[in-house]
């Protein structure tokens, strides 16, 4: 299975702190994507990093990719209460995205 597995499963931090979530996967990839899901809502695309990229930024988000270790990390800097959500990494296979179990992030005010 190529699916990504996020670590930790749950993370609770204080507002203003940085949050780091990790993702590991098993097979070679074309790209890796991170999505966010608010409780009971659909998934929203956050950022895509291609297999030949090592780091990418988007606003308060920083994603790294280490293809030799088959791992990625998502860093959210200066967290806000509104960042409370589940975060999923998704690896791209031939025809589809495959999602991991997700990290449940709680930002405490």
Cβ neighbours around 19 below 10 Å, total:
20
Q: Which of residues 42-101 bind other proteins (CB under 8 A)?
A: 42-45, 48, 88, 92, 94-101
Q: Per this entry, what is the length of the chain? A: 109
| Complex with other proteins: residue 71 or 102, whichever CB lies closer | 102
Name the burial class of residue 31, with classes exposed (0-12), middle (13-18) and buried (19+) by CB atoms within 10 angstroms of its CB.
middle
Of 10-18, 19-27, 30-38, 62-70, the segment contacting other proteins by CB under 8 A is: 30-38
What residue ranges bind other proteins (CB under 8 A)?
30-31, 33, 35, 37, 40-45, 48, 88, 92, 94-102
């Amino acid at each position: 299975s190529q699916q990504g597995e996020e670590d930790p499963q749950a993370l609770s931090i204080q507002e203003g702190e940085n949050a780091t979530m990790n993702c590991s996967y098993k097979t070679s990839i074309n790209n890796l994507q991170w999505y966010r899901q608010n409780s009971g809502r659909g998934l929203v695309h956050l950022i895509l990093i291609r297999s030949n990229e090592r780091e990418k930024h988007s606003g308060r988000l920083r994603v790294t990719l280490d293809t030799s270790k088959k791992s990625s990390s998502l860093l959210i800097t200066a967290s806000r209460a509104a960042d409370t959500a589940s975060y999923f990494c998704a690896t791209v296979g031939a025809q589809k995205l495959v999602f991991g179990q997700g990290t449940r992030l709680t930002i405490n005010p």
